[in-house]
Amino acid sequence: MFSKACEYGIRAAIYIGQQSASGRRVGLKDIAAEIDSPEAFTAKILQQLVREQLVTSVKGPTGGFELTPEQLRTVTLRQLVVAIDGGAMLQGCALGLPQCSAKQPCPMHYQFLPIRDQLNELLRAHTIGELASKVQEGLGFLKQFS
């Protein structure tokens, strides 16, 4: 569905959000450990999110990553996905035609559209803050214990 980079990016953002909601800034090492992702790779993805201003970073001692209250409230899953994976999956043709359009639709077009639209809606409807709460309340997990 999403790329590895995107999966790590979303999980990282949610974890940062969860901690930010409790007033804690978190470092890369902590993040990677808590979401079970490769540290250096996660760093790359976070850099990208910081450049897009979806996540905030602070250098130096006591530094780390955080989400501002505004970011918690307004940044959606969709913005993360677009920033990392681009819009292809959210707009592209299911069968890989260069354009998804009713002009020359692929044979799955009309069946596929509603599902893709729901996915778009789903991503648009959920903010990082909201998902972070869910984790905070123990209703969602960012890694699995065996």
Partner DNA sequence: TACATACCGGACAAATTTGTCCTTTAATTT
Partner DNA sequence: AAATTAAAGGACAAATTTGTCCGGTATGTA
Q: Which residues contact 130 (CB under 8 A, 6 or more apart)?
A: none
| Residues 55-84 interacting with DNA (rule: CB under 7 A) | 57-65
Residue 110 is a binding residue for DNA (CB under 7 A): no
Q: Which residues contact 3 (CB under 8 A, 6 or more apart)?
A: 84, 85
Min separation Cβ 64 and ligand FES, Å: 26
SS3 65: strand
Among 27, 38, 104, 124, binds a copy of itself (CB under 8 A): 104
What's the start-to-end Cα distance of the chain, in Å? 24
Number of residues that bind a copy of itself (CB under 8 A): 41
**Which of a copy of itself, ligand FES, DNA, none does residue 73 bind (CB under 5 to 8 Å by kind)?**
none
Min separation Cβ 15 and DNA, Å: 12
Residue 15 is a binding residue for DNA (CB under 7 A): no
Give burial (CB, 10 Å; 0-12/13-18/19+) of 134: middle
Residue 90 is a binding residue for ligand FES (CB under 6 A): no
Residue 8 DSSP symbol: H
Among 4, 24, 120, smallest CA distance to 72 is for 24
Residue 87 DSSP symbol: S
**Which of a copy of itself, DNA, ligand FES, none does residue 5 bind (CB under 5 to 8 Å by kind)?**
DNA
Residues that bind a copy of itself (CB under 8 A): 1-2, 4, 7-8, 10-11, 14, 77, 89, 92, 94-99, 104-109, 111-112, 115, 118-119, 122, 126, 131-132, 134-135, 139-145
